[in-house]
Amino acid sequence: MHIKLFVTESNMINILNLDHLVLTVKDIEETVKFYEKLGMKKEIFGKNRVALKYSNQKINLHKLGSEFEPKAKNVKEGSADLCFIVEQNLEDIVLYLQKEKIKIEEGIVERTGANGKIKSIYLRDPDLKRPLNIPCQRNSDRRNPITPELKF
């Protein structure tokens, strides 16, 4: 994994958030079509570079065998487990995924996310190896600490 770090004035590392990550995929256009169904937008940048934009984040896509440098030391498609937080309730997402003929691997199930308990749906993207987890946005009502999520 290639890590870029920015040092603050105090020379202490203070990571604020994740700017982007890279997925290596067999077919960029097939991957874009899948993630567009999940609300992401295709972005072309640089020389023939493709990313998936959502919120203030992005996922850069590398085609297997034609990766940009620097890249992961051991490149392999389908080698990431991603978890996205969404606004909608999971029951509505299940209905949408069924309508779009996107297979649900598992869910709705309770898991632990970065900020506590979440409810998840698990999917697989076009490389069929990468599990995706889609949870809903954390409920601000402290009486209901469960956050729905969607995993891929």
Q: Considering just the CA atoms, what is the radius of gyration of the chain in Å?
A: 17
pTM given for the model: 0.77
Count of other CB atoms within 10 angstroms of residue 5 = 7
Give the C-alpha separation, 28 to 30, whole Å.
6
In this prediction, residues 21-48 reach a mean pLDDT of 94
In this prediction, residues 125-151 reach a mean pLDDT of 58
Instruction: Enumerate domains of the chain plus CATH numbers.
Output: 1-78 (3.10.180.10), 81-152 (3.10.180.10)
- Looking at residue 80, its amino acid is A
Tens digit of each residue's pLDDT (9 = 90 or more) over 53-65: 999 999 999 998 8
Tens digit of each residue's pLDDT (9 = 90 or more) over 90-131: 899 999 999 999 999 998 999 998 889 989 999 988 887 666
Whether 146 has a pLDDT exceeding 70, the answer reads no
124 vs 4 pLDDT, higher one: 124
- Identify the pLDDT of residue 137: 52
In this prediction, residues 10-21 reach a mean pLDDT of 82
CB–CB of 100/93 below 8 Å?
no
